[in-house]
Amino acid sequence: MIKKEIYLDYAATTPVDPAVIAVMIECLGSSGDSANPSSSHLPGRRAKARVEVARSQIAKRIGVSSDTVWFTSGATESDNMALIGAMRANAHRGRHLITSVLEHKAILDTAHALEAEGTEVTYVNHDSDGIVDPDQISEAIRDDTVLVSIMHVNNETGVLQDIAAIGQRCHECGVLFHVDAAQSTGKVALKLEDWAVDLASLTAHKTYGPMGIGAIYISEGVSLDPMIHGGEQEGGFRPGTLATHQIVGFGKAFELADPDSDGPLLAARRDRLWTGLNAIEGVFLNGHPAQRSPHVLNVTFPGVEGSSLQLALANVAISAGSACNSDIPDPSHVLRGMGLSDVLAESTLRFSVGRFTTEAEIDYVVGRIQDEVPRLRALASGAPAWTAS
């Protein structure tokens, strides 16, 4: 039944770029740079040298200096480190944390865990386009505020926050600023130092690097308690044997991930997709129409049950809500936060395009959806109005 498979879930994870796979393989086998980068012998030093090249590739891509980038297992860990580590290390300054309701679960669940330990958390809202107003952050900042954590690109809608403006507000108030940039790299430019960002979370696997490796940017002078103990790796911030092949792949992926070249291509694919979907009666786009990353398109198909549309498009890998939440039946907190009803939130799909997405794939998917949406709507003909509003 399934003729071909099309992957439009690049925001969940990307396949690893062939050039990245190549450097990873160089670090795996007996004849490769597979030693422990902490070892002082020759192969260890070779591995270490490759790790340091990767560190500077990553630093360069995000606009910071190499000695502020530390490897972790991914953005989830980095998010946890940033929030827990900064709140603990700066407890003398206060116990107030500011974040937004549209953050990733790695932030929200961590904030909840901190609340259980006595941290007070303010969750700022956003407008119906999914934008957090920097002024709202200023208003939420108190004398005992330690940290503000706002994501750059939203993983469900692709909406882009004005990090530079928020950074300036935090900087003026002497409050630390953390940015979850998991979705940004390779799609939009990052200039973390210029933007007065103190802490940032990165991950390789959303940018054609391997899964299971990420980094935390810790600006010079920022105090952070480590979460994991044991050994002196990564300046003591993050002990554990450095995963050479993962780090080297991460570095290569970030070297390749140039938003200036990838961005326009992604935007072209995404726009073609939206033009096609927009031709379907009643369909609408979620999130700000312009202030957005080029790779995500979040679309509601009123009158069509989301999981049914997903199965109807079984050979097209797309996501209902965010990938990380796909196992969870609750409608997306982000979409509800933007004013969608539960029913409409469930009638919503996230499409995300990538470096390997072709025009032919887009056209095929558009055609399929143009067929399936009317079929499913017909299946429900006569249904009450609440199923589509």
Partner 1 sequence: MDYSSEVEQRFLSPSRVGEFEKGTPGLVSGEAADRTLNVWIRFQVQVLDGAIRAARFSVYGCPYTVAAADWAAEWLEGRSSTALEELGMLRRYKKLGVPVEKLGKLLLIEDAAAACWRELDGLERQKRN
Ligand X SMILES: Cc1ncc(COP(=O)(O)O)c(C=O)c1O
Q: Which residues are catalytic?
A: 324
The reply on whether position 179 binds ligand X by CB under 6 A is no
Q: Rounded distance, CA 267 to CA 273, Å?
A: 10
Taking contact as CB under 8 A, which single stretch among the options 14-22, 130-138, 208-216, 310-318 is the one that binds partner 1?
310-318
Q: Rounded distance, CA 122 to CA 100, Å?
A: 8
DSSP H helical ranges for 81-204: 86-89, 105-116, 134-140, 163-173
DSSP per-residue string spanning 309-324: HHHHTTTEE-BSS-GG
Amino acid identity, position 160? L
Q: Residue from 63, 240, 276, 374 that binds a copy of itself (CB under 8 A)? A: 240
Residue 167 interacting partner from partner 1, a copy of itself, ligand X, none (CB closer than 5 to 8 Å by kind): none
Q: Rounded distance, CA 237 to CA 242, Å?
A: 12
Amino acid identity, position 266? L
The reply on whether position 105 binds a copy of itself by CB under 8 A is yes
Q: Rounded distance, CA 325 to CA 306, Å?
A: 14
Residue 128 interacting partner from ligand X, a copy of itself, partner 1, none (CB closer than 5 to 8 Å by kind): none
The reply on whether position 101 binds ligand X by CB under 6 A is no
The reply on whether position 38 binds partner 1 by CB under 8 A is no
Write the interaction track for a copy of itself spanning residues 119-158; mark x where CB under 8 A is met and - where it is not: ----------------------------------------
Write the interaction track for ligand X spanning residues 8-37; mark x where CB under 6 A is met and - where it is not: ------------------------------
With CA atoms as reference, report the closest residue to 24 among 41, 47, 56: 47
Taking each helix axis as running N to C, give the angle between helix 244-256 and helix 42-62, from 0 to 180 degrees, rounded to the nearest 10: 30
Amino acid identity, position 84? I
Q: Residue from 89, 124, 280, 324 that binds ligand X (CB under 6 A)? A: 324
Take residue 173 and report the two structure tokens written for it: 């108030």
Taking contact as CB under 8 A, which single stretch among the options 88-96, 104-112, 120-128, 379-387 is the one that binds partner 1?
379-387
The reply on whether position 293 binds ligand X by CB under 6 A is no
Residue 318 interacting partner from a copy of itself, ligand X, partner 1, none (CB closer than 5 to 8 Å by kind): a copy of itself
- Looking at the Cβ atoms of 134 and 214, the one nearer to ligand X is 214
Take residue 388 and report the two structure tokens written for it: 């589509």
Q: Residue from 180, 255, 346, 372 that binds ligand X (CB under 6 A)? A: 180
The reply on whether position 303 binds partner 1 by CB under 8 A is yes
The reply on whether position 88 binds partner 1 by CB under 8 A is no
DSSP 164: H
Cα within 13 Å of Cα(82), Cβ side: 40
C-alpha R_g of the chain: 22
Binding residues vs ligand X (CB under 6 A):
74-76, 79, 104, 106, 151, 155, 180, 182-183, 203, 214, 240-241, 324
